[in-house]
Amino acid sequence: MKRSLVALILFSAALACAQAPTQPKLTALDQTLITAEKDFLAAAQKGDTAFLQRTLADNFTYVSVDGQVGGRQSMIDDLSDGGDNFLPYDMKVVHVCDDVAVVTYDVVVHVPPEEDQGPPPRYQHFSTTWVKLGNAWKMQFQQKTPVRWGDW
How does pLDDT run along the chain (152 residues), one tens digit per residue? 555 433 334 344 444 444 545 566 889 999 999 999 999 999 999 999 999 999 999 999 999 988 999 999 999 999 998 877 889 999 999 999 999 999 999 999 887 666 666 665 678 999 999 999 999 999 999 999 988 655 44
Q: How far apart are CA 121 and CA 117, in angstroms?
A: 10
User: What pLDDT sits at residue 110?
Assistant: 80
CB atoms within 10 A of CB 129: 20
Q: How far apart are CA 50 and CA 79, in angstroms?
A: 11
Q: Phi, psi at residue 48, to the nearest 5°?
A: -80, 85
Q: How far apart are CA 67 and CA 86, in angstroms?
A: 19
Task: Find out whether the peptide bond into 120 is cis, omega within 30 degrees of 0.
Answer: yes
Segments making up each domain of the chain, as ranges? 26-151
Q: What is the pTM of this model?
A: 0.78
Q: CATH top-level class for 26-151?
A: alpha beta
DSSP 43-92: HHHHT-HHHHHHHEEEEEEEE-TTS-EEEHHHHHHHHTT---EEEEEEEE
Find all residues with CB under 8 Å of 132, minimum gap 6, and list them.
98, 99, 100, 138
